[in-house]
Amino acid sequence: MLRKEFLSGLTALLLLSASFCNAGTKTVYIDIVGEGKFEVIYHRALSNATGAVIAGIIGAGIQSGIEHGKDTEKEKELGPLISKDTWKTQFLDTLNAKLESKGFEAVWVENTKDINEGIVLHVYPGQYGFRMVNTTTRLVSAYTAFQASFANGGANKGTRQDKEKFYITNKNQHTYESLLTEDSPANSELEAVLNKAAKRLANKIIYSMEE
Q: What is the pLDDT along the chain (211 residues), one digit of tens a residue?
A: 434 443 344 344 434 444 444 445 488 888 888 888 999 999 998 875 444 445 555 455 566 678 888 999 999 999 999 988 888 888 989 999 999 998 888 888 876 666 767 788 889 999 999 999 999 999 999 999 999 987 766 545 555 567 899 999 999 999 999 999 999 999 999 999 999 999 999 998 887 666 5
The answer to whether position 184 is within a domain reads yes
- Residue 66 Cα to chain centre, angstroms: 26
**For the whole model, what pTM was predicted?**
0.77
Instruction: Write down the pLDDT at residue 205.
Output: 80
Determine, yes or no, domain membership for 75. Answer: no
In a domain, 59, yes or no: no
In a domain, 13, yes or no: yes
Question: For residue 76, is it within any domain?
Answer: no
Domain presence at residue 111: yes
Q: pLDDT tens digits, residue range 21-74? A: 444 548 888 888 888 899 999 999 887 544 444 555 545 556 667 888 899 999
Q: 166 lies in which domain range?
A: 2-42+83-210
pLDDT of residue 15: 41
CATH number at residue 33: 3.30.160.150
Rounded to the nearest 10°, the torsion over CA 18, 92, 189, 166 is -40
Q: Would you give the DSSP letter of residue 211?
A: -
In a domain, 64, yes or no: no
What distance in Å separates the CA atoms of residue 29 and residue 208, rounded to the nearest whole number?
16
pLDDT of residue 17: 43
Alpha helices in the chain (DSSP H): 2-22, 43-46, 50-78, 86, 93-101, 186-210
Q: Given this model, what pLDDT does residue 57 score? A: 52
- Looking at the structure of the chain, the number of domains it has is 1
Residue 119 lies in a domain: yes
Helix, strand, or coil here: 25? coil
Cα 83 to Cα 86: distance, rounded to the nearest angstrom: 5
